[in-house]
């Protein structure tokens, strides 16, 4: 293995260039098509922090070491915070990993075909592409692992005059890898075990190797202390899963990522298993040193993650990525071995005996399964990549940028953005200059705290854009949403894929815009006033005439906001009715509901509480032209008995005129 390495021909160099360019194109294609997920947005935030605070961040907050953020800090300062710019760093690292795999494979195997095919498989692998388009450390984790392994091999096979520099490079790259991701401990274990198993081969290098291990051990002690802080709780959002599920998900991810159906992933894993085993066996048989190198390069990082995850919440497919280049090389070795297999065919000798031996026809026949299986793998990768780019079910995050684009053109002075979960991506996409709040910002705050915080924020602004989410430990019962629905005035609700956005008028704005019409009902509820608003929160009522007037045509829709005040909870639940009465006295359309879309019964109302209650009505086709009136009242939900006002009426006629034009 330390002999002269054959130089690649111009043709092979051209193929390698094409593979590297393909890897780059696949990683840069659609780079900002998908919205940043929460961890990506958090990375943007962390990378912008002062360098002096990054160590403390990794010590108490983020379960990742600080080097990646340190590398992104100047990149972000130079390139900006856009999704494209921030993800581009991972694209470069992922592309370089393809070239590094070829280089390391050629150096260790002293041939070109297997490393070239391995580089091609890594170039098109959906997991590698997904992570290269993610603002996280994994592409750098992969690249640094390959470079560390290359530096170790080079140091073990270098002449004395070049040895010191290569050992120093090995130490630097290995330590850098650990401060990029803690699972580098499995890479260090692989490299150490490889040298120990081949002690006779590398006996002359024992002292520099021992010195390098001592240096690495001393330099990573602070990093291991950081890692210890997160061993108990594990990373957020990770669940404990059975070993069988871990093995299935690991095999599928290494082959074709996680944007493919689990069933097809299992079938593909079973089809590729003989290929991978063939590559493993034949690399070992061909040369024990290089064979053991690649076997352990794959086995320890992959099996280490799996072993750590048995009965513990430590498994994510992306944690396997440092062992994936070796996995691809073993798979490539299997494809090449099957392709070159010489099948035995019967031949008749001159003495009349039948003998068996290799034949050209047998060799051509062996190529069929190799090319067929390779085609299946490539097709699966194309399918997985298509899912990633086109299927919303496999999107890495909801399209948060849609909410940013919508809100950006519709904000007004006095607006605020509010959400009930500290999702970093929502903050990242919040329009510039729009105040942003999270209630609650920490886990396990009481419902009273959530309601009080919401009321405090709502009291300080005119309109609230609210993006509701339900996440464990934060606002699982929707207390923020309920408070806004009951005490704000929701004038618009916009639905996007996977989430919706609500626009509310705040209580001070309601008081400012409300048309006062006080009326008391006998069950202890008072009408403060009403309003008919558009989706911006502006009144649709014209005040040019003596009475507020809403001009409509048949089939037009409008929403009436009623503003109540409670003397206290009622004994029985009551229902609101709203009638649109034509000039001839007939009820043309009505809506009956328990308050707040049926969600807030009067038995729950508190003394002095002010409640917003909304009713959408559509002018029926054929409604007679002329002035219509709105009647509002209550009845007992069980008995249907009407509730009278303090003047003895069963309803209140609002002061607004609904003027229907002749269509």
Q: For residue 116, which of 334, 329, 341, 275 has the smallest C-alpha distance?
A: 329
Q: For residue 434, which of 456, 412, 453, 454 has the smallest C-alpha distance?
A: 412
> How far is the C-alpha of 254 from the C-alpha of 122, rounded, in Å?
10
The per-residue pLDDT for range 424-461, each reduced to its tens digit, is 999 999 998 899 999 998 888 899 999 999 999 999 99
> What Rg, from alpha-carbon coordinates, does the chain have?
34
**CB distance 657 to 550 below 8 Å:** yes
Q: For residue 33, which of 388, 495, 459, 517 has the smallest C-alpha distance?
A: 388
Q: What is the CATH number of domain 400-508?
A: 3.30.110
* 218 Cβ contact partners less than 8 Å away, ≥ 6 residues apart: none
The per-residue pLDDT for range 342-387, each reduced to its tens digit, is 654 444 444 444 433 445 555 566 688 889 999 999 999 999 999 9
The per-residue pLDDT for range 185-239, each reduced to its tens digit, is 999 999 999 999 999 999 999 999 999 999 999 999 998 888 877 665 544 557 7
Element (H or E) spanning 588, and its range? strand 587-593
Phi and psi, residue 51, nearest 5°: -55, -35
- What's the pLDDT at 354? 40
By CB atoms closer than 10 A (0-12, 13-18, 19+), residue 423 is buried
CB atoms within 10 A of CB 422: 18
Residue 561 in 3-state DSSP?
strand
Q: What is the mean pLDDT of residues 68-80?
A: 95
**CB distance 317 to 250 below 8 Å:** yes
**Pairing state of beta strands 557-566 and 549-552?**
unpaired
**CB distance 366 to 343 below 8 Å:** yes
> How far is the C-alpha of 63 from the C-alpha of 80, rounded, in Å?
25
- What's the pLDDT at 234? 47
Q: What is the mean pLDDT of residues 150-171?
A: 92
HEC states along 127-190? HHHHHHCCCCCHHHHHHHHHHHHHHHHHHHCCCHHHHHHHHHHHHHHHHHHHCCCCCHHHHHHH
Element (H or E) spanning 36, and its range? none
CB atoms within 10 A of CB 585: 7
pLDDT of 157 over the 90 cut: yes
Phi and psi, residue 125, nearest 5°: -70, 125
Q: For residue 399, which of 26, 83, 8, 625 has the smallest C-alpha distance?
A: 83
pLDDT of 340 over the 50 cut: yes
- What's the pLDDT at 240? 85
The per-residue pLDDT for range 289-313, each reduced to its tens digit, is 999 999 999 999 999 999 988 888 8
Share of the chain residues as helix, strand and coil, in percent rounded to the nearest 5 = 50, 20, 30
| Residue ranges covered by each domain of the chain | 10-392, 400-508, 514-660
- What's the pLDDT at 169? 96
**CB distance 65 to 223 below 8 Å:** yes
The per-residue pLDDT for range 536-561, each reduced to its tens digit, is 999 999 988 789 999 999 999 999 99
The per-residue pLDDT for range 11-28, each reduced to its tens digit, is 888 999 999 999 999 999
Confidence band, pLDDT 50/70/90 cuts, at residue 153: very high
CA distances from 593 to 518, 519, 613 (A): 21, 19, 10
The per-residue pLDDT for range 234-276, each reduced to its tens digit, is 445 577 889 999 999 999 999 999 999 888 999 999 999 999 9
- What's the pLDDT at 351? 45
- Percent of the chain scored above 90 by pLDDT? 78
Residue 370 in 3-state DSSP?
helix
**Pairing state of beta strands 436-438 and 415-419?**
parallel
**Helix axes of 38-47 and 83-109: crossing angle, nearest 10 degrees:** 90
Confidence band, pLDDT 50/70/90 cuts, at residue 2: very low
CB atoms within 10 A of CB 247: 12
pLDDT of 413 over the 90 cut: yes
Strand partners of residue 490: 504
Q: What is the CATH number of domain 514-660?
A: 2.70.50.60
**Pairing state of beta strands 415-419 and 354-358?**
unpaired
- What's the pLDDT at 470? 82
Span between the terminal Cα atoms of the chain, in Å = 90
Chain Cα centroid distance, residue 649: 57
CA triple 622-625-629, angle to 5 deg: 105
637 HSE (CA, 13 A, CB side): 15
**CB distance 420 to 502 below 8 Å:** no
* Widest Cα–Cα separation across the chain: 125
> How far is the C-alpha of 357 from the C-alpha of 364, rounded, in Å?
14
Phi and psi, residue 550, nearest 5°: -115, 115
Long-range contacts of 539-547 (CB under 8 A, 24+ apart): 539/513, 541/515, 541/656, 545/657, 547/655, 547/656, 547/657
Mean pLDDT over each residue of the chain, to the nearest integer: 91
């Amino acid at each position: 293995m330390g002999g002269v390495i054959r130089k690649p021909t111009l043709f092979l160099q051209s193929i390698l260039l094409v593979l590297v360019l393909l890897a780059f194109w696949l990683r840069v294609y659609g780079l900002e098509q998908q919205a940043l997920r929460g961890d990506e947005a958090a990375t943007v935030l962390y990378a912008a922090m002062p360098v002096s605070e990054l160590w403390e961040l990794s010590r108490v907050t983020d379960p990742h070491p600080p080097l990646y953020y340190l590398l992104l800090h100047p990149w972000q300062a130079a390139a900006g915070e856009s999704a494209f710019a921030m993800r581009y760093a991972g694209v470069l690292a992922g592309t370089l990993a393809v070239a590094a795999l070829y280089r390391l494979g050629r150096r260790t195997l002293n041939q070109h075909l297997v490393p070239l095919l391995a580089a091609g498989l890594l170039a098109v692998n959906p997991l590698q592409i997904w992570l290269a388009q993610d603002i996280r450390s994994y592409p750098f984790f992969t690249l640094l692992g390959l470079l560390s392994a290359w530096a170790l091999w080079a140091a073990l096979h270098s002449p004395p005059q070049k040895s010191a520099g290569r050992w120093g490079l090995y130490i630097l790259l290995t330590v850098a890898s650990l401060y990029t991701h803690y699972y580098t401990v499995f890479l260090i274990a692989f490299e150490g075990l490889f040298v120990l198993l081949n002690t006779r081969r590398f006996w002359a290098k024992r002292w520099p190797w021992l010195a390098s291990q001592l240096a690495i051990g001393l330099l990573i002690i602070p990093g291991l202390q950081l890692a210890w802080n997160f061993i108990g709780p594990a990373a957020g959002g990770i669940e404990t899963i059975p070993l069988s599920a871990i093995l299935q998900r690991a095999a599928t991810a290494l082959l074709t990522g996680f944007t493919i159906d689990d069933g097809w992933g299992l079938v593909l894993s079973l089809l590729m298993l003989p290929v991978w085993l063939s590559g493993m066996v034949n690399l070992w048989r061909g040369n024990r040193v290089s064979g053991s190198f690649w076997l352990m390069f794959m086995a320890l990082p992959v099996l280490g993650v799996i072993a750590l995850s048995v009965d513990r919440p430590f498994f994510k497919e992306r944690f396997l990525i440092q062992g994936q280049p070796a996995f691809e090389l073993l798979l490539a070795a299997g494809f090449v071995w099957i392709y070159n297999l010489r099948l035995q065919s019967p031949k008749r000798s001159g003495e009349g005996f039948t003998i068996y031996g290799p034949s050209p026809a047998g060799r051509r026949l062996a190529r069929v399964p190799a090319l067929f299986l390779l085609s299946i793998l490539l097709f699966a990768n194309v399918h997985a990549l298509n899912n990633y780019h086109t299927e919303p079910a496999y999107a890495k995050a909801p399209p948060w940028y849609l909410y940013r684009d919508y809100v950006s053109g519709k904000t007004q002075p006095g607006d605020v953005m509010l959400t009930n979960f500290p999702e970093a991506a929502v903050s990242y996409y919040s329009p510039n200059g729009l105040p942003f709040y999270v209630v609650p910002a920490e886990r396990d705050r009481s419902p009273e705290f959530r309601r009080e915080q919401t009321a405090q924020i709502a009291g300080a602004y005119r309109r609230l854009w609210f993006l509701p989410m339900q996440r464990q430990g934060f606002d699982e019962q929707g207390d923020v949403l309920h408070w806004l629905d009951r005490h704000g005035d929701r004038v618009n609700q916009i639905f996007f894929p996977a989430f919706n956005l609500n626009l509310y008028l705040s209580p001070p704005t309601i008081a400012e815009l409300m048309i006062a019409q006080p009326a008391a009902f006998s069950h202890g509820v008072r009408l403060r006033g009403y309003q008919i608003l558009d989706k911006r929160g502006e009144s649709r009522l014209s005040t040019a005439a003596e009475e507020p007037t809403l001009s409509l045509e048949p089939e037009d829709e409008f929403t009436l906001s009623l503003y109540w005040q409670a003397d206290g909870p009622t004994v029985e639940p009551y229902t609101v009715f709203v009638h649109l009465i034509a000039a001839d006295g007939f009820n043309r359309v009505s809506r009956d509901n328990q308050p707040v879309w049926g969600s807030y019964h009067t038995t729950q109302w508190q003394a002095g509480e002010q409640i917003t209650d909304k009713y959408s009505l559509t002018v029926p086709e054929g409604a007679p032209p002329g002035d219509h009136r709105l009647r509002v009242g209550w009845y007992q939900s069980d008995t249907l008995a009407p509730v009278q006002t303090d003047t003895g009426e069963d309803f209140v006629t609002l002061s607004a005129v609904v003027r229907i034009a002749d269509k």
